[in-house]
Amino acid sequence: MIDVILSGANGRMGQVLQTLIAQQSEMQVVAGIDREAFEADFPTYQSIEACQETADVVIDFSHYSAVPAVLTYCAAKKMPVVIATTGLPDAVKEQLVQTSQQTAVFFSANMSLGINLLAKAIREITPVLEDEFNIEIVEKHHNQKKDAPSGTALLLADAVNDAVVEKKTYIYGRHGNDLENPLSELGIHAVRGGTIPGEHTVIYAGPDEVIELNHLALSRNIFASGAVKAAKYVSQKAPGLYDMEQLIDEK
């Protein structure tokens, strides 16, 4: 049995994870952390420092401001951790690396298997098209999402840059009256509205033809499912930094 401490347990994704983990025969939540007090079938705390339970892995789906305390806790306990929270500042990303020297840390800007397969496809397609095609990324999310562009859009943009010789300059939205739009630029555009769970489109626009790679999240269940897969994977790993592409490659 894999025992899980769930950080952000009472948030939207935390509640989805509670339901999904309850359906797993080999996994259970032994404690939940959330800044707002709530009731559950397991012990709950308003800070991870107060948690009394031991576990095999922590899954964090909270807010970027809560992540440093989670990483500090996991480093001290030598407890593997899945960081599924997005919008992390650079200082917190550096803490991820530092924590990975003490325990296994799993981080991906998007927990969807489909998005990470899309990133792999981008790395294969881009070298063939980069000399003649403009590349743009459009991402759409619900109106409650706080960060823009999304971490996933940046993940996909980085996949493009991983595959090219001359790194592209990221342009966050285009505006003006005298744009040149050279191939050396990669436009990243954010749309916010309604209850869109998440949609990402990578556009390759060349002479007389356009290729679009699209991923549409139909529900938040895909992110919870990915986080559960990540928790099972990282709970058995030695200290180090792991991501979804490594999980896919080892399947």
Q: Does the annotation place 174 within a ligand binding site?
A: no
Q: Annotated catalytic, 200?
A: no
Q: Does the annotation place 109 within a ligand binding site?
A: yes
Q: Does the annotation place 11 within a ligand binding site?
A: yes
Provide CB contacts within 8 A for 174, sequence distance 6+. 181, 187, 189
Work out the angle at residue 21's Cα, subtended by the Cα atoms of residues 3 and 11, and round it to the nearest 5 degrees.
100
- Catalytic residue among 77, 93, 120, 141, which? 141
* Complete edge-to-edge strand list for the sheet that includes strand 134-141: 169-172, 185-192, 134-141, 199-206, 209-216
Q: Does the annotation place 225 within a ligand binding site?
A: no
Q: Does the annotation place 79 within a ligand binding site?
A: no
Provide CB contacts within 8 A for 115, sequence distance 6+. 152, 155, 156, 200, 215
Report the alpha-carbon distance of residue 89 to residue 100 in Å, rounded: 17
Which among 134, 141, 137, 115 has a CA at the least distance from the CA of 189?
A: 137
Q: Does the annotation place 66 within a ligand binding site?
A: no
Q: Does the annotation place 14 within a ligand binding site?
A: no
Q: Does the annotation place 72 within a ligand binding site?
A: no
Q: Does the annotation place 169 within a ligand binding site?
A: no
- Catalytic residue among 63, 77, 78, 145, which? 145
DSSP letter for 238, please. P
Which among 251, 245, 250, 246 has a CA at the least distance from the CA of 114?
A: 245
CB 232 within 8 A of CB 24: no
Q: Annotated catalytic, 145?
A: yes
Q: Does the annotation place 214 within a ligand binding site?
A: no
Question: Could you list the active site residues?
Answer: 141, 145
Residue list, annotated binding site: 8-13, 34-35, 84-86, 108-111, 142, 151-152
Residue list, annotated binding site for (S)-2,3,4,5-tetrahydrodipicolinate: 142, 151-152
Residue list, annotated binding site for NAD(+): 8-13, 34, 84-86, 108-111
Residue list, annotated binding site for NADP(+): 35
